[in-house]
Amino acid sequence: MQQASLSLLDTDYHHLLHPYTDMMSPQPVELVTSASGCRLTLADGRELIDGMSSWWAAIHGYNHPRLNQALTDQTKSMAHVMFGGLTHEPAIRLCRQLLECVPEGLEKVFLCDSGSVSVEVSIKMAIQYWYSQGLTEKKKFIALRRGYHGDTFGAMSLCDPVTGMHHLFAETLTPQLFAPAPTVAFDAQWDPGDIAELAQMLETHQQEVAAIVLEPIIQGAGGMFFYSPQYLGAVRELCNKHNVLLIADEIATGFGRSGKLFACEHAHISPDIMCIGKALTGGYMTMAATLCTEKIAQTISASGLPLMHGPTFMANPLACAVASASLEVLFSSDWQANVSRIEHQLNLELTPCRQLPAVKSVRVLGAIGVVELESEPDAACLQSKLTEQGVWIRPFGKLVYIMPPYIISPQELSKLTSAIYNACQ
């Protein structure tokens, strides 16, 4: 490797912190110099095929001409202006596009900085909704075990207390109520017993519960499990029955990943509040949004109080412009055909992994493929086995999973699946 690269990696090792990584002796990292389509180019000239879409975000691949253009065009008029007392066309255009494609009933859009922040905003909306009606005791949330909703304190309080990576902060977090994780798989025969404990919990606690928060259909970071749409439908009914709001965290699932534009569509339901993020800007900029119904907005407004949130970089025009372009690219492509093509190929090529002794199960939904191992592997060793085969796949605990850009070619996808097979042997 070149001297310059070694020096960069040296500074990185000694001073830069990475996600969920030891502060003094971090695991090795790869030095990326550019990315294009589904390929990452490393400083030493190697090329890796990307299986991660940079954590669900880069759905159109990297260095996309239309997204690049939108971003550079926007820099020529303005990179940013405050959103208090000012507005701009990029935000308004994006808002219109979102309203056209989100589940029915969602009418108000709060544009914020990141997924975790959008979850914080959803918590405030739900609490303020009940507060406005004098129901000040309705301020607790029911979340699901194995759920993941982000890394800020409000969002952390909703993550699974054990698998949520945050048990260390348990004493500091607002205590919430946790219902068992869904167990009936996406394609399996529905069993109403799967929702019984949640139903019981609502009977007992509805006076103090503001909302149920869940990741629709796909529990992501908490285990990559795909659950029955009937579960989600039943939760919607329970929320109506018990006067509790439903918050759908579509941050990972939004924008087509599960085969539907939003995972809620699998159950034909609309949430009262929805969080989106990750793929919103096609992986270009950090931006997320919290959407809610007209009824929630009216009710909060009737209290005379504003919604109590307003980040410095709210509705950043660069992010809005690139998000707009990303939605245009999505809707002008046959994304559904792409996602189902990927789903078909993942099923075909990952199924043989079931035969491997180290593998516990294989699951595929939309453009997501998951191989769950029997036991937790040596992370660094598994990581290097994958990288050596020219692919970028980042295993998490017992899970080796991919969610590639929708534009991935069949040949590139085969490289990812065969690398997984070889690495799990």
Ligand X SMILES: *Cc1c(COP(=O)(O)O)cnc(C)c1O
Query: Binding of ligand X at residue 215 (CB under 6 A)?
Result: yes
Rg (CA), the chain: 22
Distance separating alpha carbons of residues 282 and 3, to the nearest angstrom: 34
From residue 274 to residue 313, the character string flagging contacts with ligand X as x (rule: CB under 6 A) and all else as - is ---xx-----------------------------------
Burial class for 280, CB neighbours closer than 10 Å (0-12, 13-18, 19+)? buried
Contact with ligand X (CB under 6 A): which of 53, 54, 114, 316?
A: 114
Find the binding residues for ligand X in span 222-251 (CB under 6 A). 249, 251
Q: Which of 249, 272, 401, 415 is catalytic?
A: 249
Distance separating alpha carbons of residues 383 and 400, to the nearest angstrom: 10
Distance separating alpha carbons of residues 15 and 92, to the nearest angstrom: 40
115 annotated as belonging to a binding site for a ligand:
yes
Query: Binding of ligand X at residue 148 (CB under 6 A)?
Result: yes
- Closer to ligand X at the Cβ: 35 or 221? 221
Q: Which one, of 264, 303, 240, 274, lies nearest residue 118 by Cα?
A: 274
Query: Binding of ligand X at residue 115 (CB under 6 A)?
Result: yes
User: CB nearest ligand X: which residue?
Assistant: 115
Contact with ligand X (CB under 6 A): which of 51, 61, 216, 220?
A: 220
- Closer to ligand X at the Cβ: 91 or 252? 252
The helix (run of H) or strand (run of E) holding residue 295 is: helix 294-302
What the block records as the tokens of 159 is: 């993550």
Span of 109-117, 186-194, 354-362, 412-420 interacting with ligand X by CB under 6 A: 109-117
Strands 399-402 and 368-373, sheet pairing? antiparallel
Q: Which one, of 377, 413, 365, lies nearest residue 218 by Cα?
A: 365
55 annotated as belonging to a binding site for a ligand:
yes
Query: Binding of ligand X at residue 216 (CB under 6 A)?
Result: no
Helix, strand, or coil (residue 343)? helix
From residue 166 to residue 205, the character string flagging contacts with ligand X as x (rule: CB under 6 A) and all else as - is ----------------------------------------
- Closer to ligand X at the Cβ: 119 or 350? 119
Residue 140 designated active-site: no
Residues ≥6 apart with Cβ < 8 Å to 60: 67, 282, 283, 326, 329, 330, 333, 405, 406, 407
61 annotated as belonging to a binding site for a ligand:
no
Distance separating alpha carbons of residues 81 and 75, to the nearest angstrom: 12
Residue 148 designated active-site: yes
116 annotated as belonging to a binding site for a ligand:
yes
Binding-site ranges for ligand X (CB under 6 A): 114-116, 119, 148-150, 215, 220-221, 249, 251-252, 277-278
